[in-house]
Structure 1
Amino acid sequence: MSSIGDNMVVSNAEMAGSGQPDVSQLGVIEQYPGAVLVVDLNGAVLSANQHAGLLVEMIDAGMPRNIEDAIKSALSGSVAQINPLLVTKENASAALGEGEAALRPASAQREILAAYDTTFLPWEGGRSVLLIGRDITLERNLRAALIESRQRYRDLLEAACDFSWETDTDGRFVFVTPRGGLAYSASELVGASSELLLPPALQKNNPFTSRAGIETEEYWLIDADNREVCILLTAIPLYNSSGQWAGVRGFCQDITSLRQREFRQAEALHRERTLGRILKIAREELEPKRMLSAIAECLLPAVPADSVLILHHDQEWQKVAHVGQAIDESFVSKAVASLTDSSAFWTQSASSRQGQDCADCHLVAFKCQFQGSMNGLVMLGRSSRKQEWNQSDQALLQNIRSELGTALQQYGHFIELEKLSATDPLTGLFNRRSFEAKLSGFLQKRKDDNEAQHLLLYMDLNNFKQANDAFGHQEGDRILCDFAEVLKANVRKQDLPVRLGGDEFVVLMKDISPNAGEQKVEALIQALQPVFDSLELKAARLGVSVGGLMFRAAEQDSLEALLSHADRVMYAVKQAGKDGLDDRGFRIVSDDELDTQTTVPDEGEA
């Protein structure tokens, strides 16, 4: 069988291996009193309940064009309907609309076996289509019989429809049943043009002036209160004794509440399925960032949307996951400013932002909370060519808000634990383990770069042990913390300050020249002087020895060697200070100068 859409050909074996559910096992669908079946991307029936036999036979024998179009629409994420869908002895006739079928000669029309009101829904994330059918065969046959003899079945007709009518050649009502229709009284409709009830889309295809005859087709009309009303309309053309067309006679049944109920049921089923998928992701994915990325991927086709942006908020906003088209994050601040305790959603249509960035998409954002506190925000974009965000969309998103709030809280805890494991608890600087991981990653990333120079500073506090012994460990901790604060305040944003342990510190300065590195070290030592010159510590003669190694990432064999070389430079500075040969307290050398400007300490001297 040919595929429903380009690039959508999927074999039955592949579909079976994809975990497609057996519809008969889904209780909520099995209880449906009408026909239910699932069709895959190739148009093959995967599963059907006991009421869908005729529909399955018709599809297997050769899929009519209107069913194929409806399946294509559902696979693209839209809900489609065929009302009515006729099943005939010859499947070719099933592809005709009822009005078109009525134009054919009686001898050419085939026997109709059944008629259904059908709805086509996206299923399993767009991999298949759920077809729901309500058998209207009995209703259809009854109405066809009633229209043939208005006088004989008038009482039954009044009970079977909301109002019956007759129009003249100008489309004006010449008869309406006494109780009127569509919130109009009979007196208001008689003499009025039938165009009064038509939306703009039907003005050129007025069913009240149809010469072809209409058999229980569905239309959306406008009632006296300017509300949209869904009606089933049956009509036959009238001819005078000369065989000339004289008008139309028919009746209407208001099925608005039925359609709304069906849509609500379909939406509720879709919301439950989306929530179920998100809960499954939350159960199976332990790493919070990957979990939130998977949820964003899930929302893209489920809502549907063209972009999904998830942000976490603690002290500042952080992008956690983004899929689909780009969203200008400047809209996040606008959304946050609009979201209050009483307002959980923020929407902005594309038409309200003409001439601005992102003017080609409709935006919606909703806040996420955990135990009453806002901890994140989700923003979704939809192309301006598609429907704006409505209450139905918000109902689906409302259904998942609490789950996303919990997921974002888990992400926040994960980040906090990750931060605690990567930092020194006393000073708040990166610890040795996280530094080695970051330095190793940096060297790997820049391994082919033989041009850019970087500086690794290795620092050791002079006479710290004596000060710690003399003034106590509490004062020693304060010295280390003050040193760390000065260090953080005097390095660049892209630099990496680290406490290796004890009184040893390092700083990785990326992409810096030797002259600039020397200036940074001089400024750092000068900034540290007030810490060392405090009255309490002056007697301890605190100081710092700084060894700097200029290097290129492509020339380094291992991070252990790099740290060892910087340590050698630092030790040479410390030794020179003790010998009175260097009062600057620092030295910066390159790999080439390492052997000539440093000395290796004897074992036990370090």
Structure 2
Amino acid sequence: MFGQTLNGALKELSTKVLGALNAAPSSFLENYPEGAVLVSSDGTVLGSNAAGEVLADLVSNGSRDSLNDLLQNALSGVGANLDGVVVGDETQLDVTAVPVQDGEAILLLTRDQTFERNMMSALVDSRARYKDLVDVSSDFAWEIGPEGTFIFISPGGALDYASDDFMGQNPAAFGLEPTKRSVPSPFSATEPATDIDVNMRRQDGSIAQLRASSLPLFDNHGAWRGSRGVCRDFTEDSLRKAALDEARIREKLLKHLVGIIRDEVEPLKTLTGSIKYIVRASGFAGCKIYTRDEYSSGSKNFVMTAKYGDEEAMPPDDEVFKLIETVQGAQAISDDNWSGLLASTGYRQHVNGAICVWRGDQTTDWSADELTLIDTVSDQLGIAIERVMHHERILRLSRTDELTGLLNRRAFLEEELPRRMERLQHSGGTAALLFVDLDNFKLVNDVHGHHRGDEVLMALARFLEKHSRPGDAVARFGGDEFAVWLDGMDVVSAETRAQAMIEDSLIFREYSGDDDHPLGLSIGVSMYNSGSDEQLDQLMGRADEAMYKVKRQGKGGFAFDEVSE
């Protein structure tokens, strides 16, 4: 059917061409808009226009079998056409052979297809290039149909799903969630959208952060028919950026902490300043610092030294105390009502305390960077805590008696008593000052040695602590002389307390040098009245006088000074 149609068209063309040729052969060839070559039946070129000269040369040379075949077909009385004849400098021609002059000649007419074919080739290459780029790109292309479901996805799939898994699915099935509520979804947008951040769920359930750009599609009537676009997965980039930001924050925090530790003169302020900055810089609800209690006689080896922040969701100290010695690095600790992060601190391979941070949200797990932050901070705090403990040791040595651990004479007379007397002057009330001296103590050292004497002094220190209250003050003045300040004591209460001490002092007789010189106590008592203007040295003189009155009366008892009586 096609061949019959072509032959008919060629016959019609042949008739028109023949008429034109017979009328003015030269004029026809010259005026034909593209190449025209007239060839005799024996293959001799009879003439051509300028555009056909290259083709005429090919015919004369007989170098193209395809042209020879075309001519033979035309001589048989059947018009013929040949596509893609390349002549000259990559010029591509379509050649049509029309028999003329009753088959005595053949007219070759050309049509330059170079531009069209190059354009077609460029389009094919462009599409292939685009397809290759889409296939290998980490981005994925997609198209949404009129029903709002996927009708195309990049062949490689996306989010660890195969491309077929998307077909016919609504984007919402993959956990679509724009990161900004006010921004429409790029998959259903009615306007072009660029760089819209959305979260979608991977096949394993994890969240992927995507950046989408899209174009809406409309039909001829302006109705929305879908959209197409691309998504770039920038999850790894986002995580790297977050890690870099967190590292910068951590570096800045550590630099600031080092500055506090270096520049702060008072060691305890180093800790309070550090935890305030940690909470403010890191967004924790609060922070506490624990230090080792070197002087506790109980089972609690640590004390809470500094804290800052919201105390509502803070981990209980008792729970923290149990873990300080055993925690390795930074460790999450939690209960139904609190969630904390604990790390022990150390100095020279010895645990000297801990840092504990917490937050109000108990449902969120602690991140790896938060663990790293607290673990790193604990190293710096270990040095700061050691400074605090060293400072406390120096203060303790300056205030306490080395043998008994009681207050020494200086701390008792220059710090404790002036402060307590001033407080009573403002609040009103009375107090009792007891001077305590061991009877026959020298004989203990002479008979049993000084080590036994030291045992007596330490036993007496514990004895006086037992007979005093937590708010009272007990001191060793030196040798076998001790003093006790009893806050809020009236004369009757002071007498009762002194009498109990004398009765219980029989326990010291086992330390005696011999039976004729039993070890005991002599106690002198003077009362302090806040309404008087008596000075401390006067009060001490009265207590000392009362104590020596007991000595003169035979030892082993107590007495009030004359004013207190």
**Do both proteins adopt the same fold according to a TM-score greater than 0.5, normalized to the shorter chain?**
yes
Supply the distance in 2 between the matched residues of 1:385 and 1:214 (Cα, whole angstroms).
Answer: 38
Structure 1 residue 480: Cα displacement: 3.2
Deviation string 1:80-120 (CA, Å, 9 cap, x unpaired) is xxxxxxxxxxxxxxxxxxxxxxxxxxxxxxxxxxxxxxxxx
Q: Which letter does structure 1 place at the counterpart of 2:155?
A: P
> SS where residue 440 of structure 1 aligns?
helix
Equivalent residue number for residue 306 of structure 2: 321
Task: Please say if residues 548 and 586 of structure 1, whose CA atoms lie closer than 8 Å, have aligned partners that are also in contact.
Answer: yes
Equivalent residue number for residue 423 of structure 2: 445
Equivalent residue number for residue 317 of structure 2: 332
Q: Which letter does structure 1 place at the counterpart of 2:426?
A: D
Structure 1 residue 269: Cα displacement: 0.8
Equivalent residue number for residue 256 of structure 2: 277
Structure 1 residue 328: Cα displacement: 7.5
Structure 1 residue 454: Cα displacement: 1.5
Matched, 1:545 2:522: yes
Deviation string 1:122-160 (CA, Å, 9 cap, x unpaired) is xxxxxxxxxxxxxxxxxxxxxxxxxxx989855455566
**Structure 1 residues 466, 341: CA separation in 2 closer, same or farther (over 3 Å shift)?**
closer
Supply the distance in 2 between the matched residues of 1:338 and 1:461 (Cα, whole angstroms).
Answer: 45
Equivalent residue number for residue 588 of structure 1: 560
Task: Please say if residues 289 and 306 of structure 2, whose CA atoms lie closer than 8 Å, have aligned partners that are also in contact.
Answer: yes
Task: Please say if residues 362 and 382 of structure 1, whose CA atoms lie closer than 8 Å, have aligned partners that are also in contact.
Answer: yes
Task: Please say if residues 229 and 256 of structure 1, whose CA atoms lie closer than 8 Å, have aligned partners that are also in contact.
Answer: yes
Matched, 1:166 2:138: no
Q: Share of identical aligned residues, percent?
A: 27
**Structure 1 residues 425, 339: CA separation in 2 closer, same or farther (over 3 Å shift)?**
closer
Matched, 1:390 2:367: yes
Residue 210 (structure 1) aligned to one of 186, 189, 197 = 189
Residue 300 (structure 1) aligned to one of 279, 294, 302 = 279
> SS where residue 208 of structure 1 aligns?
coil
Equivalent residue number for residue 210 of structure 2: 231
Equivalent residue number for residue 52 of structure 1: none
Supply the distance in 1 between the matched residues of 2:291 and 2:324 (Cα, whole angstroms).
Answer: 15
Supply the distance in 1 between the matched residues of 2:339 and 2:352 (Cα, whole angstroms).
Answer: 24
> SS where residue 168 of structure 2 aligns?
coil
Task: Please say if residues 463 and 541 of structure 1, whose CA atoms lie closer than 8 Å, have aligned partners that are also in contact.
Answer: yes
1:34-113 matches, cutoff 5 A: none
Q: Which letter does structure 2 place at the counterpart of 1:538?
A: D
Residue 510 (structure 1) aligned to one of 471, 487, 493 = 487
Supply the distance in 1 between the matched residues of 2:308 and 2:200 (Cα, whole angstroms).
Answer: 40
**Structure 1 residues 511, 535: CA separation in 2 closer, same or farther (over 3 Å shift)?**
closer
**Structure 1 residues 444, 388: CA separation in 2 closer, same or farther (over 3 Å shift)?**
farther
Structure 1 residue 288: Cα displacement: 2.3
Equivalent residue number for residue 221 of structure 1: 200
**Structure 1 residues 426, 176: CA separation in 2 closer, same or farther (over 3 Å shift)?**
closer
Structure 1 residue 584: Cα displacement: 6.7
1:554-573 matches, cutoff 5 A: 555-573=532-550
1:140-539 matches, cutoff 5 A: 153-157=130-134, 162-199=139-176, 205-314=184-293, 316-326=301-311, 331-337=316-322, 341=326, 343-347=328-332, 353=336, 359=337, 362-384=339-361, 389-436=366-413, 437-450=415-428, 452-465=429-442, 473-532=450-509, 534=511, 536-539=513-516
**Structure 1 residues 487, 328: CA separation in 2 closer, same or farther (over 3 Å shift)?**
farther
Supply the distance in 2 between the matched residues of 1:177 and 1:416 (Cα, whole angstroms).
Answer: 71
Please, which moves more after superposition, 426-435 or 554-563? 554-563
Q: Which letter does structure 2 place at the counterpart of 1:438?
A: E
Q: Which letter does structure 2 place at the counterpart of 1:540?
A: H
Please, which moves more after superposition, 534-543 or 241-250? 534-543
Structure 1 residue 476: Cα displacement: 4.3
Please list every run of 5 or more consecutive structure 1 residues that lacks an aligned counterpart in the other structure: 1-148, 354-358, 598-606
> SS where residue 448 of structure 1 aligns?
helix
Q: TM-score, normalised by structure 2?
A: 0.69
Q: Which letter does structure 1 place at the counterpart of 2:268?
A: K
Q: Which letter does structure 2 place at the counterpart of 1:305?
A: F
Q: Which letter does structure 2 place at the counterpart of 1:332?
A: D
Task: Please say if residues 435 and 544 of structure 2, whose CA atoms lie closer than 8 Å, have aligned partners that are also in contact.
Answer: yes
**Structure 1 residues 243, 473: CA separation in 2 closer, same or farther (over 3 Å shift)?**
closer
Q: Which letter does structure 1 place at the counterpart of 2:170?
A: S
**Structure 1 residues 384, 540: CA separation in 2 closer, same or farther (over 3 Å shift)?**
same
Q: Which letter does structure 2 place at the counterpart of 1:319?
A: M
Supply the distance in 2 between the matched residues of 1:336 and 1:471 (Cα, whole angstroms).
Answer: 43
Supply the distance in 1 between the matched residues of 2:528 and 2:444 (Cα, whole angstroms).
Answer: 34
Task: Please say if residues 459 and 504 of structure 1, whose CA atoms lie closer than 8 Å, have aligned partners that are also in contact.
Answer: yes
Task: Please say if residues 223 and 229 of structure 1, whose CA atoms lie closer than 8 Å, have aligned partners that are also in contact.
Answer: yes
**Structure 1 residues 243, 496: CA separation in 2 closer, same or farther (over 3 Å shift)?**
same
Structure 1 residue 542: Cα displacement: 4.3
**Structure 1 residues 368, 493: CA separation in 2 closer, same or farther (over 3 Å shift)?**
same
Task: Please say if residues 169 and 245 of structure 1, whose CA atoms lie closer than 8 Å, have aligned partners that are also in contact.
Answer: yes
Equivalent residue number for residue 37 of structure 1: none
Structure 1 residue 479: Cα displacement: 4.0
**Structure 1 residues 320, 168: CA separation in 2 closer, same or farther (over 3 Å shift)?**
same
Q: Which letter does structure 2 place at the counterpart of 1:217?
A: I
Task: Please say if residues 416 and 473 of structure 2, whose CA atoms lie closer than 8 Å, have aligned partners that are also in contact.
Answer: no
**Structure 1 residues 329, 202: CA separation in 2 closer, same or farther (over 3 Å shift)?**
closer
> SS where residue 540 of structure 1 aligns?
coil
Deviation string 1:435-491 (CA, Å, 9 cap, x unpaired) is 1212222223333121x3221101233444566567665554444344334323333
Task: Please say if residues 513 and 519 of structure 2, whose CA atoms lie closer than 8 Å, have aligned partners that are also in contact.
Answer: no
Supply the distance in 2 between the matched residues of 1:158 and 1:467 (Cα, whole angstroms).
Answer: 99
Supply the distance in 2 between the matched residues of 1:557 and 1:329 (Cα, whole angstroms).
Answer: 48
Q: Which letter does structure 2 place at the counterpart of 1:164?
A: A
Structure 1 residue 175: Cα displacement: 1.1
**Structure 1 residues 554, 167: CA separation in 2 closer, same or farther (over 3 Å shift)?**
farther
Supply the distance in 1 between the matched residues of 2:374 and 2:478 (Cα, whole angstroms).
Answer: 49
CA RMSD of the aligned region, Å? Answer: 3.1
Supply the distance in 2 between the matched residues of 1:240 and 1:161 (Cα, whole angstroms).
Answer: 31
Q: Which letter does structure 2 place at the counterpart of 1:282?
A: I
Q: TM-score, normalised by structure 1?
A: 0.64
Task: Please say if residues 400 and 411 of structure 2, whose CA atoms lie closer than 8 Å, have aligned partners that are also in contact.
Answer: yes
**Structure 1 residues 426, 364: CA separation in 2 closer, same or farther (over 3 Å shift)?**
closer
Structure 1 residue 388: Cα displacement: 5.7
Deviation string 1:475-515 (CA, Å, 9 cap, x unpaired) is 54444344334323333333322111223211111123332
Please list every run of 5 or more consecutive structure 2 residues that lacks an aligned counterpart in the other structure: 1-125
Equivalent residue number for residue 89 of structure 2: none
Supply the distance in 2 between the matched residues of 1:339 and 1:543 (Cα, whole angstroms).
Answer: 45
Structure 1 residue 239: Cα displacement: 0.5
Structure 1 residue 224: Cα displacement: 1.7
Supply the distance in 1 between the matched residues of 2:194 and 2:510 (Cα, whole angstroms).
Answer: 99
> SS where residue 594 of structure 1 aligns?
coil
Supply the distance in 2 between the matched residues of 1:176 and 1:470 (Cα, whole angstroms).
Answer: 102
> SS where residue 461 of structure 1 aligns?
strand
Task: Please say if residues 331 and 371 of structure 2, whose CA atoms lie closer than 8 Å, have aligned partners that are also in contact.
Answer: no
